[in-house]
Amino acid sequence: MTAVPRYAVFGHPIAHSLSPRLHAIFAAQTGATLEYTATDATPEAFADVVRGFFDLGGRGANVTLPHKAAAFALADVCTDPARRLGVANVLTLLPDGRIEADSNDGAGMLADLRGRCDFDPRDCEALLLGAGGAARAIAFALLDADVRKLVVANRTFERAQALAGALDDSARTGVSRWEALDQCDAFDLIVHATSAGVQHATFALPTSLVHARTVAYDLSYGAAARPFVDWARGAGCAAAFDGLGMLVETAAASFERWHGVRPDLDAALRSLRDGSVHPPAAAPRPPSFRRG
């Protein structure tokens, strides 16, 4: 009997992940047969756990915090996006037995931001909160989307400096100490990419970061995104979004890479929003944020 193809998502923590449910929805849509599980792996054990997964027949894996740099490091080959970033959120077993690393976080966020949030980041002033693997992908994506200015802030200032330096675009990038955010001007776009929500940590941001048309976007979803989205609403942002649409975009890209078929993203997103997860709805906003 043919073994069922195995896939997984690895993170720490991982219990909150909707990826298994999402890939089950995609499989039902497309008629694919698969097994997809969530596995908690500590940073110390990550490489051994992932290699063991592939050694035992795993076909592909998604990777979430805090393992995106480690995922890139363990791969045998990498795509151009992963090579440029030095991080990966997708691992694929190739026919010759090598493991390929890829990154689709940036593309997934931009697709959701432009398509569902109706916001084009071109020529905007953006603040990126966080400097980890996901933040790295988002920073490159925002610069590729032609933001006018990108400021990176992180609780560990040296990590913010390191990320800004890696972007190699000093004319459009800057850094801010977390404790000095109240000295920044307001931004058109604020992207939250720290692990605070997933780690159940509290944080406060100055409302001076917001003006009447500011859009806030959290890479997390569900309960993990609620503190930032609630702050954004209270601060007067024109709209605040969680990252469930980004999850669907990145998961669909992974699914297509592994199975050769593109699932119905909007139907899957409706299923998630109507199900057990209750992410914050977007705040009221003007008819369009697109820039001419």
Instruction: Dump pLDDT digits (tens) for 81-113.
Output: 999 999 999 999 999 999 999 999 999 999 999
With a CB cutoff of 8 Å and minimum separation 6, the contacts of 2 are none
For 40, which DSSP code?
E
Please, which pLDDT band fits residue 285 given cuts at 50, 70 and 90?
very low
Helix, strand, coil percentages, rounded to 5, for the chain = 40, 20, 40
The residue type of 112 is D
Higher pLDDT, 229 or 279: 229
Q: What's phi and psi for 125, nearest 5 deg?
A: -100, 120
User: Catalytic: 149?
Assistant: no
Cα separation, 188 vs 149, whole angstroms: 10
Within this chain, domains 6-103+251-274 and 106-242 share the same CATH topology = yes
**Can you read off the two tokens belonging to residue 183?**
């000295």
6-103+251-274 under CATH 3.40.50.10860, yes or no:
yes
Residue pLDDT, tens place only, 26-83: 999 999 999 999 999 999 999 999 999 999 999 999 999 999 999 999 999 999 999 9
Residue matched to tokens 């940036």: 106
| Residue 2, pLDDT score | 65
Please tell me which residue in 68, 116, 192, 259 is annotated as part of the active site.
68
Domain positions in the chain are: 6-103+251-274, 106-242
Angle at 221 between CA 216 and CA 224, to 5 degrees: 95
**Can you read off the two tokens belonging to residue 91?**
């691992």
Cα separation, 202 vs 101, whole angstroms: 33
CATH fold for domain 106-242: Rossmann fold (3.40.50)
Please, what is the average pLDDT of the chain?
A: 92
**53 alpha-carbon distance from chain centroid:** 23
What is the mean pLDDT of the segment spanning 241-254?
98
